[in-house]
Amino acid sequence: MALQSSMRWRYLKEGFFFGLVRLSAFVITAALGGLLFYIFFNGLGAISWGFLTLPPTDSMTKGGIMPAILGTVYLTLGAIAIALPLGITSAIYLTEYARQGPLVRVIRIGVNCLAGVPSIVFGLFGLGLFVVFLQFGSCILSGALTLGILILPTIIGASEEALKGVPQTFREASLALGVSKWQTIYRIVLPSAMPGILTGSILGIGRAAGETAPIMFTAAAFFTAKLPSSIFDEVMALPFHIYVLATAGTHIEATRPIQFGTVLVLVGLVLVVDLVAIIIRSTIRKRKRW
Amino acid sequence: MEDNRVIKTKDVNFYYGKFRALTDISMDFEKNRVTALIGPSGCGKSTLLRLLNRMNDLIDGTRVEGEVLFEGKNIYDPEVDPVEIRRRIGMVFQKPNPFPKSIFSNITYGPRLAGLSDRVELEALAEQSLKQAVLWDEVKDILGQSAMMLSGGQQQRLCIARALAMKPDVLLMDEPTSALDPISTAKIEELIQDLKRQYTIIIVTHNMQQAARISDKTGFFYIGKLIEYSATEKIFTRPDVKQTEDYITGRFG
């Protein structure tokens, strides 16, 4: 009798905790869905061909956001161009070449710490180093460098994981054929790790596209209808544009639809990038068999 | 007089950190012979095999004492390039490890990186190597397909063909049949018999019948020491050392 009641109590507890788990999964999904729906619902009205292809007009209360879209694309591409080679080579050094010891451990801790630094700190660092000290001024180059450093830990982390995931037997097979270490890395290890490196990196890219604080002092213009002609030009950027319209504009209430439209474009951009990552990963996973 | 001993080890000690894995190994390996290394797990036979083409270099914190002479030259001399050594001393591993590339690319990978670029020569080399490994008839029409599609036994013969394509002098085999079924095993054993006419083969095996069937000389290892080393026939019929006898008769505790 006592046994039976204790069993019932166990089932009750189990049911309760499973319910809790289910509930939290549901809450997260609902929150995400609600957020996306809210943005979509409020922003869709603002989207038109003109909105995507024209510069803002009338003190940014009318017109489009094309310069900001373009600016974000430039900044993000610049950040990738800087962070991807640097991140991949660092990861190769850490996993393939460096003797595993205290030095490598210190570097790894450093990289992880970098990942936890608030993005505004990166913004101030970029302002101090690139804008002021190196005298690049507020421009695409400074912004891309700052964003590049911001996403570097993500890319190093993803690359390290991907490199570690390449079976040791591949390296051994290649080296045993009298192939040098560098050629082994270049011909066997890197191609096998590439899908992992790319997916991890693309997720970092999504983050770079959405950050406001790092570009606030280093690249983003309050308003410029002129499109950039070199990497030393200031640009508008989607996240900063939203920030400006929502807090510093002269017609905050009147520009709500434009604000939501811009948010929708930014979210759409990031989702597309993430989607690409997911597609790359799943197609390569199907091809890979080890 | 012509020296028939291709590889000689002289008082070799090997350490993983502080752990001594091999103790005073002095051993000669003869040309065009199959030499088997046997012994219980952890006895150091695989470690010794991997010393012969410097594969242990890959493991941090290892140390070698003594000399490993290949054609009279110590391969652990500082000026010796391990890459060069591995070109001449090939290796086949316990688990088949083809690259995730086509069958053709698997074979031509090594030669290509060694500088061979002529397509016709590469094709001839691929055919020759695959024939040597008795795989040609099975794969000649699917050379462009992924090597991962092949069965385990085929993959292992592909790995042998891949090693042969580098035209090595010595072929090291680390339990090459332990992951294979009996039919594939028989095929590879037969292959080893054929290959010894051209190559010097050193094979680590857990399977004592295999050592008895295919090798000319056998070395028995126990806890990092070479206990007994002589003609296979002698080892398996009238070994000198009691430990050897206990091991090959399965009375090992």
pLDDT score recorded for residue A289: 54
Segment A51-79 shows an average pLDDT of 83
Give ipTM to 2 decimals.
0.89
Enumerate the domain spans of chain A: 69-237
pLDDT score recorded for residue A78: 92
User: Would an 8 Å CB–CB cutoff place B109 in contact with chain A?
Assistant: yes
Q: Give the pLDDT band of residue A194 (cuts 50, 70, 90).
A: confident
How many angstroms separate the first and last alpha carbons of chain B?
44
Q: Which one has a higher pLDDT value, A3 or B6?
A: B6
Q: How far apart are CA B131 and CA B137, in angstroms?
A: 8
Q: Which one has a higher pLDDT value, A287 or B75?
A: B75
Mutation target vs A (from B50, B89, B99; most A CBs, 10 A cutoff) = B99
Mutation target vs B (from A179, A180, A189, A192; most B CBs, 10 A cutoff) = A179
The residues in B 142-171 lying below 8 A from A, measured between CB atoms, are 146, 148, 159, 162-163, 166
- The DSSP symbol for B40 reads S
Chain-chain contact of A173 with B113 (C-beta, under 8 angstroms): no
Q: How far apart are CA B81 and CA B88, in angstroms?
A: 12
pLDDT score recorded for residue B161: 94
Chain-chain contact of A288 with B166 (C-beta, under 8 angstroms): no
CB-CB: which of B60, B98, B159 is closest to A99? B60
Closest CA to B48 of B61, B37, B63: B37
> What topology does CATH give the domain B5-248?
Rossmann fold (3.40.50)
pLDDT per residue as tens digits for the range B119-166: 999 999 999 999 988 899 999 999 999 999 999 999 999 999 999 999
Chain-chain contact of B99 with A173 (C-beta, under 8 angstroms): yes
- To which residue do tokens 């990942």 refer? A115
Q: Give the pLDDT band of residue A97 (cuts 50, 70, 90).
A: confident
Closest CA to A96 of A174, A170, A182, A195: A182
Residue pair B238/B245 in contact by the 8 Å Cβ criterion: no
pLDDT score recorded for residue A244: 86
pLDDT score recorded for residue B252: 66
pLDDT per residue as tens digits for the range B212-240: 999 999 999 999 999 999 999 999 999 99
- To which residue do tokens 């770079």 refer? A208
pLDDT per residue as tens digits for the range B23-42: 999 999 999 999 999 999 88
pLDDT score recorded for residue B253: 47
Report chain B residues whose CB lies below 8 A from the CB of A183.
Answer: 113
Chain-chain contact of A172 with B88 (C-beta, under 8 angstroms): no
Residue pair B85/B167 in contact by the 8 Å Cβ criterion: no
* Average pLDDT over all residues of chain B: 91
Contacts of B55 (CB under 8 A, 6+ apart): A172, A175, A176, B86, B91
Q: Give the pLDDT band of residue B205 (cuts 50, 70, 90).
A: very high
pLDDT score recorded for residue A166: 92
Cα radius of gyration (chain A): 24
pLDDT per residue as tens digits for the range A4-56: 778 888 899 999 999 999 999 999 999 999 999 999 998 888 888 888 887 77
Q: What is the DSSP string of A165-227?
A: TS-HHHHHHHHHTT--HHHHIIIIIHHHHHHHHHHHHHHHHHHHHH--HHHHTTTB-S---SP
pLDDT score recorded for residue A287: 65
Residue pair B73/B81 in contact by the 8 Å Cβ criterion: no
Q: Give the pLDDT band of residue A2 (cuts 50, 70, 90).
A: low
Is the predicted pLDDT of residue A281 greater than 80, yes or no? no
Q: Give the pLDDT band of residue A249 (cuts 50, 70, 90).
A: low
Helix (H) or strand (E) holding B195: helix B182-195
Q: What is the DSSP string of A64-79?
A: --HHHHHHHHHHHHHH
Among the residue ranges A151-155, A242-246, B85-89, the one predicted with the least confidence is A242-246
* Average pLDDT over all residues of chain A: 87
Chain-chain contact of B93 with A172 (C-beta, under 8 angstroms): yes
pLDDT per residue as tens digits for the range B83-93: 999 999 999 99
**The domain A69-237: what is its CATH number?**
1.10.3720.10
User: Would an 8 Å CB–CB cutoff place A183 in contact with chain B?
Assistant: yes
Q: What is the DSSP string of A74-142?
A: HHHHHHHHHHHHHHHHHHHIIIIISPSSHHHHHHHHHHHHHHHS-HHHHHHHHIIIIIIIS---SSHHH
Enumerate the domain spans of chain B: 5-248
Chain-chain contact of A290 with B100 (C-beta, under 8 angstroms): yes
How is residue A274 written in tokens?
Answer: 């993430």
pLDDT score recorded for residue A146: 94
Is the predicted pLDDT of residue A286 greater than 80, yes or no? no
Instruction: Provide the shortest C-alpha distance from residue A84 to chain B (in Å).
Output: 25
Q: Is B13 left (phi over 0), alpha (psi -120 to 50) or beta?
A: beta
